[in-house]
A and B are shown apart, each in its own frame.
Chain A
Amino acid sequence: MRTGVFFCQVENGKNLNIDAIAKYTANLPGVEFVQILGTAPRIEVNVLTDLIKMKSLERVVIAGDMPGYFKPVFTKAMALAGGNTDEIQLASFKERGASGEYAQDRAKAVIACASMAVPFSLVAVPAGNPVNHSTLIIGAGIAGIQAALEIANAGKQVYLVEQTGTIGGHMAMFDKTFPTLDCAACILTPKMVSVGQHEMIHLLTNSNVTEVTGKPGSYRAKIHQRARRIDVKSCVSCALCVDVCPVKVESEFDAKISLRKAVYIPFPQAVPNAFLVDEKNCTYVLSGGKKCGVCVNKCPKECINLDETDKIIDIEVGNIVLATGYELLDVGKIEQYGYGVYPDVLTSLEFERLTNASGFTGGKIVTKTKRFNKRTQQEEWFFSPDGVPPRNVAIIHCVGSRNKKYNAYCSRVCCMYSLKFAHLIKEKIPNVNCYEFYIDMRAFGKGYEEFAERIKQGGTFVIRGHSAFVTMNNGQMVVRGEDIINDKMVEFKVDMVILAVGLIPASGNEELSRMLGITRDSDGWFSELDYNGSPTDTEKGCIYVAGMCQGPKDIPDTVAQAAAVAAGVLRTITSGKGVGHLSSVTLNEIEARAKNIHTISGGHYVNQS
């Protein structure tokens, strides 16, 4: 069949060498004519008609990143030239994943298939590798927990790796969830306990993945487990060791607003429910075994072994799930809000710990109190359970989000949790004034808009207009803003400012992406294979993303995605066909297969169904 191939790019494809692809295309069987029309061409129908007539083309292949865009023009030209309009084939580079390492070969293969009118998906079937039935899940937040439970409940082995001492992640720190105002712990802790007790889940806390080798279906992972120095099995969490420990450091779990000892349990419901020793701050560990060590003698169960060493664990897995979550943007670099300068300017996570009923103030929302630190000889501000509750609170949305200087993207959850904060403050403190400064209210989910409406009706001052800065006037914080809807400049004296800080990817993501060979987007989140079509898969087979590490999302979406990942993992394990990735198929193979189908079907592939 006389085929003409036209290259029409919509965008400037930097990763593709169109000239080389065109040269390859010219040698394909049946291809009579190849033309590069360039980027965003303006195609004249009559010129095209004459061309099709002159070359007497029977089939036209439109190749490019978005060839469908040009199809109407070619259909018209083909019809005018008296050809068969069904013979217009699209060779779409973007849709077929011609990007990254194998872009050039993939693009060639796509055109080869199109020129023979063979569906690409029919020939580009990767060969199957046998799949190891165990799964590695990196990160044990709500996403990791959910995926682990789904897979383990299906009867498959799961290795759940967590870098802190307990599972639960950020969700364990929250007080309530929006929009239902359910208690976060009530949802999460049963799941955590199930993980801890599940026979199919091998929990590795205090651990990091250091090396991953192998191919889809059979990966080998090296896991570095830092010494916990306390035996998990015999520890009964009696907390006698805490009483004697002399070292005090900021608690990571309490977003650094309270202090903990060097031997600690992050929170009472932690899983595994055992204490651990902070090796970075423990006097015994730091002095190389010469000083301190008082906790060892105090322990009634004799489970503390301060000389325990780190372990390297080698495991073989078939699938890897990334659920590494997020961090907060360092808000100290956005100077105008005075974070770190004025005592009562909090980040969202700090407030979340402050208002949490199991937090160190018992859920009392208070302003900071001054005290004299004898060691540093300086005055310092701290949260005390007997502190004064604030009378006026300002909540500022979009701090660092939707801002070209920090994060250009929307962090997606801030609007809703800020509204939730307003509700909690109103609930806990009588006669409090709460001011929300927002740019756009993004209440996008089920029941969210109603929640936002409810908060607005509930007496919170919701101001459309972002406050740019916080100042201190004679010991009184002042927040200034423009109330755009009411056309006013507003100024409020407040006792507490809560910043809805933007979210950034977890700091270990870069290393992980290099280790696993998967890509991240420009903001640092892991890239999914296709945003709409396969939001849990990555470019590499048998590696999945779940939860925030793929992009900011709320808890329901995270759980849904984690469950979807579990389905994907189980699919590879139970199908029996094995897995492969398109990159394992070479151009020659695709070409040969396409030719084969082409000859069998007599020059034109007919869909058998």
Chain B
Amino acid sequence: MSIRVNPRFINDLVLFGAEDVQLCYHCGDCSTVCPHADEVYKFPRKSMRQLQMGLERKIETTLEPWLCYYCGQCSEQCPREAAPGETMMSLRRWLISRYDFTGIAKQFFKSGMTEIITIIGFALLTAVFLFYYGYSMGNIHIYDGKGAFLSSPFIHKFDLTLGSLLLIFLAINAFRMWYFTMIKGTKVPVPWWLYVKELYLLPWHFFTQKRYSECESKRNPKIFMPWIIHLGLMLGYVIMLILVMVFIERLQSGPAIQWQVHIFGYLATIGLVTGTIYIIRNRLNKTYEQYKKSHSTDWVFIVLLFFIVLTGIAQHIFHRTGLYELANITYIVHLMCVVPWLLRMPFSKWAHLVYRPLAMYFAAIRRDAITRREISLKSNSVSIK
């Protein structure tokens, strides 16, 4: 079977962050230290090789980039300083842009300026709309009816519309991912029941990120902080997302907020605040391998999230203490961050929230299919005379 080679692929990938792939001389140290590399999924060296050969069509069908959590041990070991860890990260960025059928993700990854300008544009649009519609007419402490700043049923509807729009985008992208990896990429027949058998992996990996903790299985001393922080950030984010998307009316139901909402909200906030601060600090300090190189999208992601959390907290405090005027303004700033954030979700780093568990799921199915195939080949061996 032939495969098309893109000799400029390695140059294209520079914009996604992989700069030193060409240095690799294939000693295999990275694959050896990687706690996740095994018989079926051998990486990062193999991905480096595919990159050097320009096998763009092959890489889009691989799941290996998603199996890497970037613990950085390969980059620490690399004798050529070819940064295999960063290359896997860049491949993830490239894959996000490849799964995205609109091409917006590609533009965002290639040019940080485009992304920032787009975000500022949408933030300003939101601001104009909110000033015109909300601030000039009402106040934040009035929740419904006349004089309400933005009524909760309105926001709820708005949320759901936006959410379903995003879900459509994400679903299409996830479908493309499935098509690339499982139809084009898996050369062995995959029976349908394997999809059912491994289905438990989706919630398992989504909520525990167990694989991330396994990154440390070979390191001494073990550094579990990135995993815990990442898990806290992700869980906090998901809880907050559910609260905002589904329970926004309870969040805004007047001065007496339900205790359940309160508790979940505060828990989520702890996760979000520690997570964003930890990551921003590490990206500035550059002590750990995985935080040494930061792509523009990494910065946009974490800084925007940090602003959202900060303004959210400020708004909450002002609101509770009765500084309604200030609360109004912070609320507007908060929404100025939230709206672009939500809009760019399927086209950004955020999408790995969906792709990574999916990749684990697909990887397990592919592994099962390959083992099944090998067993059947062994039992029905063809003898050649």
Chain B residues, CB < 8 A from A487: 42
Q: A404-B79, A440-B25, A489-B37 are in contact. Are A466 and B32 (CB under 8 A)?
A: yes
Q: Please state if B29 and A468 are interface contacts (CB–CB under 8 Å).
A: yes
Q: A481-B32, A489-B31, A489-B38 are in contact. Are A468 and B26 (CB under 8 A)?
A: no
Q: Please state if B45 and A484 are interface contacts (CB–CB under 8 Å).
A: yes
Q: How far is the CB of A339 from chain B (nearest CB, A)?
A: 16
Give Cα distance in the complex from A488 to B39, angstroms.
6
Q: Please state if B39 and A398 are interface contacts (CB–CB under 8 Å).
A: no
Give Cα distance in the complex from A439 to B25, angstroms.
8
Give Cα distance in the complex from A469 to B33, angstroms.
7
Chain B residues, CB < 8 A from A482: 28, 31-32, 37, 42, 45
Q: Please state if B45 and A468 are interface contacts (CB–CB under 8 Å).
A: no
Q: Among residues 469 to 500 in chain A, which have CB atoms less than 8 Å away from a CB atom of chain B?
A: 469, 471, 480-482, 484, 487-489
Interface of A, helix, strand, loop or mixed by DSSP: loop
Q: Please state if A468 and B77 are interface contacts (CB–CB under 8 Å).
A: yes
Q: Among residues 212 to 255 in chain A, which have CB atoms less than 8 Å away from a CB atom of chain B?
A: none
Closest to A466 in B: B27
A580 within 8 A of B: no
Interface of B, helix, strand, loop or mixed by DSSP: loop
A403 within 8 A of B: yes
Q: Please state if B39 and A484 are interface contacts (CB–CB under 8 Å).
A: no
Most interface-central of B26, B29, B45 (chain A CB within 10 A)? B29
Chain A residues, CB < 8 A from B45: 482, 484
Q: How far is the CB of A331 from chain B (nearest CB, A)?
A: 14
Q: Please state if B28 and A465 are interface contacts (CB–CB under 8 Å).
A: yes
Chain A residues, CB < 8 A from B80: 403-404
Chain B residues, CB < 8 A from A404: 79-81
A405 within 8 A of B: yes
**With contacts defined as CB atoms under 8 Å apart, how many contacts are there between chain A and chain B in the complex?**
59
Closest to B41 in A: A489
Q: Please state if A398 and B77 are interface contacts (CB–CB under 8 Å).
A: no
Closest to B37 in A: A489
Q: What 1/0 mask marks residues of chain A from 454 to 472 whose CB sits below 8 Å from any chain B CB?
A: 0000000000011111010
Q: Among residues 422 to 477 in chain A, which have CB atoms less than 8 Å away from a CB atom of chain B?
A: 439-440, 465-469, 471
Q: Among residues 1 to 44 in chain B, which have CB atoms less than 8 Å away from a CB atom of chain A?
A: 25-33, 37-39, 42
Q: How far is the CB of A127 from chain B (nearest CB, A)?
A: 49
Chain A residues, CB < 8 A from B218: 471
Closest to A402 in B: B79
Q: Please state if A484 and B37 are interface contacts (CB–CB under 8 Å).
A: no
Closest to B81 in A: A404
A336 within 8 A of B: yes
Chain B residues, CB < 8 A from A484: 26, 28, 45
Task: Tally chain A residues at the interface, Cβ within 8 Å.
Answer: 21
Q: What 1/0 mask marks residues of chain A from 581 to 607 whose CB sits below 8 Å from any chain B CB?
A: 000000000000000000000000000
Chain A residues, CB < 8 A from B26: 439, 484
Q: Please state if B39 and A489 are interface contacts (CB–CB under 8 Å).
A: yes
Closest to A480 in B: B32
Closest to A465 in B: B28
Q: A336-B77, A405-B79 are in contact. Are A466 and B42 (CB under 8 A)?
A: no
Q: What 1/0 mask marks residues of chain A from 396 to 428 whose CB sits below 8 Å from any chain B CB?
A: 001000111100000000000000000000000
Give Cα distance in the complex from A482 to B25, angstroms.
14
Contacting residue for A398 out of B27, B33, B81, CB 8 A: B27
Chain A residues, CB < 8 A from B25: 402, 439-440
Give Cα distance in the complex from A291 to B131, angstroms.
96
Chain A residues, CB < 8 A from B81: 404-405
Give Cα distance in the complex from A571 to B159, angstroms.
92
Chain B residues, CB < 8 A from A398: 27, 79
Give Cα distance in the complex from A398 to B78, angstroms.
13
Chain B residues, CB < 8 A from A471: 218
Closest to A471 in B: B218
Closest to A439 in B: B27
Q: How far is the CB of B75 from chain A (nearest CB, A)?
A: 12
Chain A residues, CB < 8 A from B37: 482, 489
Q: Among residues 76 to 103 in chain B, which have CB atoms less than 8 Å away from a CB atom of chain A?
A: 77, 79-81
Q: A402-B79, A466-B28, A484-B26 are in contact. Are A489 and B33 (CB under 8 A)?
A: no
Chain B residues, CB < 8 A from A440: 25
Chain A residues, CB < 8 A from B38: 489
Q: How far is the CB of B96 from chain A (nearest CB, A)?
A: 28
Chain B residues, CB < 8 A from A466: 27-29, 32, 79
Q: Please state if B42 and A489 are interface contacts (CB–CB under 8 Å).
A: yes
Q: How far is the CB of B42 from chain A (nearest CB, A)?
A: 6
Q: Please state if B42 and A481 are interface contacts (CB–CB under 8 Å).
A: no
Q: Among residues 33 to 87 in chain B, which have CB atoms less than 8 Å away from a CB atom of chain A?
A: 33, 37-39, 42, 45, 77, 79-81
Give Cα distance in the complex from A489 to B32, angstroms.
8
Q: How far is the CB of B180 from chain A (nearest CB, A)?
A: 22
Chain A residues, CB < 8 A from B39: 488-489
Q: Among residues 180 to 209 in chain A, which have CB atoms less than 8 Å away from a CB atom of chain B?
A: none
Q: How far is the CB of B24 from chain A (nearest CB, A)?
A: 11
Closest to B77 in A: A468
Give Cα distance in the complex from A570 to B71, angstroms.
61
Chain B residues, CB < 8 A from A336: 33, 77
Give Cα distance in the complex from A308 to B125, angstroms.
93
Give Cα distance in the complex from A398 to B38, angstroms.
24
Chain A residues, CB < 8 A from B28: 439, 465-468, 481-482, 484
A404-B80, A467-B29, A482-B42 are known; give 15 further A-B pairs, CB within 8 A. A398-B27, A403-B79, A403-B80, A405-B81, A439-B26, A440-B25, A466-B27, A466-B28, A468-B28, A468-B29, A468-B30, A468-B32, A471-B218, A489-B38, A489-B39
| 28 A/B residue pairs, CB under 8 Å, sorted by A | A336-B33, A336-B77, A398-B27, A398-B79, A403-B79, A404-B80, A439-B27, A465-B32, A466-B28, A466-B29, A466-B32, A467-B32, A468-B29, A468-B32, A469-B32, A469-B33, A481-B28, A481-B32, A482-B28, A482-B31, A482-B32, A484-B45, A487-B42, A488-B39, A489-B37, A489-B38, A489-B39, A489-B42
Residues of B within 8 A of A (CB): 25-33, 37-39, 42, 45, 77, 79-81, 218
Listed from nearest, the 10 A-B pairs whose CB atoms lie closest are A403-B79, A482-B28, A466-B27, A465-B28, A468-B32, A468-B29, A482-B31, A439-B27, A468-B33, A404-B81
